[in-house]
């Protein structure tokens, strides 16, 4: 677990130092700020089965659309309101900055999930994958 926290912290510092649209500059160049909390809204999802069939969904793993997700880098968690009306929170296992995108990854029971956020625009996608299904959604993320 400590290794994961160190990896996330190292990625956050690297991303904060290299992505001006995502990170705030500090007066002291030697100190980096954590990546600001992002608020994402995913308005459409599709669920796909192993046979290649996909269908549009009205919810994402039981959570109604539009799905509002908070990505909290400082506490290394993502959260959303589930079908019961309570917060559902997952740990962030990895953060990477690649090809002009911020990639956030974690696990939720049988699913691996990923949120990909474009640096130059608010465009974002979310995906959940298990051995027998894939759920993909599109939306936006911002610091507001």
Domains and CATH numbers, the chain: 2-142 (2.40.160)
CB 105 within 8 A of CB 116: no
> What are the pLDDT digits (tens) for 52-90?
999 998 776 667 788 899 999 999 999 998 878 888 899
**Of 64 and 120, the one with more pLDDT:** 120
pLDDT at 61: 65
Q: Please, which residues have CB within 8 angstroms of residue 61's CB and are 6 or more apart in sequence?
A: 108, 111, 128, 135
Place of tokens 């002291």: 28
> What are the pLDDT digits (tens) for 106-116?
998 889 999 99
> What are the pLDDT digits (tens) for 4-60?
333 333 333 333 333 334 333 334 443 567 789 999 999 999 999 999 999 998 776
Q: How many CA atoms lie within 13 A of 132 on its CB side?
A: 1
pLDDT at 85: 84
């Amino acid at each position: 677990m400590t290794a994961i926290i160190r990896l996330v912290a190292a990625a956050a510092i690297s991303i904060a130092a290299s992505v001006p649209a995502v990170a705030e500059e500090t007066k002291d160049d030697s100190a980096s700020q954590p990546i600001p909390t992002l608020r994402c809204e995913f308005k459409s999802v599709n669920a796909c089965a192993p046979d290649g069939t996909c269908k549009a969904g009205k919810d994402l793993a039981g959570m109604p659309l539009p799905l509002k997700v908070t990505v909290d880098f400082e506490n290394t968690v993502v959260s959303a309101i589930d079908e019961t009306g309570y917060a559902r929170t997952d740990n962030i296992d990895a953060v990477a900055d690649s090809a002009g995108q911020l990639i956030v990854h974690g696990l939720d029971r049988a699913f691996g999930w990923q949120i990909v956020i474009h640096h130059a625009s608010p465009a974002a996608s979310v995906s959940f994958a298990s051995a027998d299904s894939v759920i993909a959604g599109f939306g936006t993320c911002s610091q507001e």
